[in-house]
């Protein structure tokens, strides 16, 4: 191990501390973003399930599973589709295949 002066040790220590702090900040930001994505999915699922339930009555397990597996794009499309749908199949039909 090469010789390091006290000054070099302090500089290295500060760099490590700064690196850890930056890593923590990045981790927190990633966690926040993931939480927002999950929260949005949860809300969209609830909206679709509520709309379908109000419009067509109780939903069977298969319909609930399709909604639970939906992406943000699927769910946003279903929220709009339910407005003109004549059946549940009109809303989730393409998602089942």
* pLDDT of amino acid 97: 39
* pLDDT of amino acid 41: 95
CB atoms within 10 A of CB 81: 17
- Whole-prediction pTM value? 0.70
pLDDT digits (tens, 9 = 90+) for 20-74: 888 888 888 888 889 999 999 999 999 999 999 999 999 999 999 999 999 999 9
Determine the angle formed by the axes of helices 88-96 and 61-69, rounding to 10 degrees: 60
Q: Do 59 and 89 contact (CB within 8 A), yes or no?
A: no
């Amino acid at each position: 191990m090469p010789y390091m002066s006290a000054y070099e040790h302090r500089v290295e220590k500060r760099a490590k501390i700064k690196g850890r702090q930056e890593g923590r900040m990045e981790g927190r930001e990633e966690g926040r973003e993931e939480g927002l994505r999950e929260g949005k999915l949860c809300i969209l699922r609830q909206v679709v399930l509520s709309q379908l339930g109000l419009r067509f009555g109780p939903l069977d397990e298969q319909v609930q599973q399709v909604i639970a597996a939906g992406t943000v794009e699927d769910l946003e499309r279903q929220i709009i589709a339910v407005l003109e749908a004549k059946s549940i199949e009109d809303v989730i039909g393409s998602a089942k295949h």
